[in-house]
Amino acid sequence: MTEKQEKILKAALELFADRGFASTSTSKVAQKAGVSEGLIFKHFTNKDGLLNAILQQGHEKIEGLFKELNSLDDPKDVIKRVIEIPFTISDEEMPFWRLLYSLKWQADVYDGTMSNPIKSVLIPAFGKLEYKNPEAEAQLIMVLIDGLAVEILLRKSGNAQSIKSSILSKYNF
């Protein structure tokens, strides 16, 4: 990975997250990265290739999250940790998540593979705690953290912490 390649990826991620993928031109990306436009196509083939490179880079960074979840033994810890995920997004990771969530609405680009591993760790956790419908409970948590992520990524409210304790109290944690 060249220095200029990294600059292209960083510039593209920020622009795609801020203004949207479709309304960001490759010339703007080149300009922000301080690079000739042709270089983008030399390295990433086309605009979709650039997007895929960003997505793959982000997935690699997030991979550790799933490994951490699988290492937890207590099912309560698993559920707690999953709920905490949206609250532990760092400023550095924000653009990637904002891009990912915005792409959900652009049809064909992103398929939602991201959330399946989390759900598959959540269902047995609720099973061990003898909930009546572990599948539905897992789905509810997924919906909840998606809603939380939207709230946090669009930073509409500052008091996210009080929401967190409201949730945890409903699970008697």
Q: Could you list the residues that contact a second copy (CB under 8 A)?
A: 18-20, 22-23, 98, 101-102, 104-107, 112, 133, 135-137, 139-140, 143-148, 150-151, 154, 156-157, 159, 162-163, 165-167, 170
Annotate 101-122 with three-state secondary structure: HHHHHHHHHCCCHHHHHHHHHH
Q: Minimal distance in Å, beta carbon 26 to DNA?
A: 4
CA distance 79 to 69: 9
Q: For DNA, which residue of 32, 39, 131, 171 counts as binding (CB under 7 A)?
A: 39
Cα radius of gyration rounded to whole Å, the chain: 19
Nearest Cα to Cα of residue 13 among 43, 46, 56, 63: 56
Residue 47 touching DNA (CB under 7 A): yes
Of the CA atoms within 13 Å of residue 17, those in its CB half-sphere come to 21
Q: Minimal distance in Å, beta carbon 19 to DNA?
A: 10
Tally the residues of the chain: 173
Encoded one letter per residue, x for contact with DNA by CB under 7 A and - for no contact, window 2-21 reads xxxx----------------
Q: Which is nearer to a second copy, 120 or 136 (CB)?
A: 136
Q: Report which DSSP code applies to 25.
A: -
Q: Point out which residues bind DNA (CB under 7 A).
A: 2-5, 24-28, 35-39, 41-43, 46-48
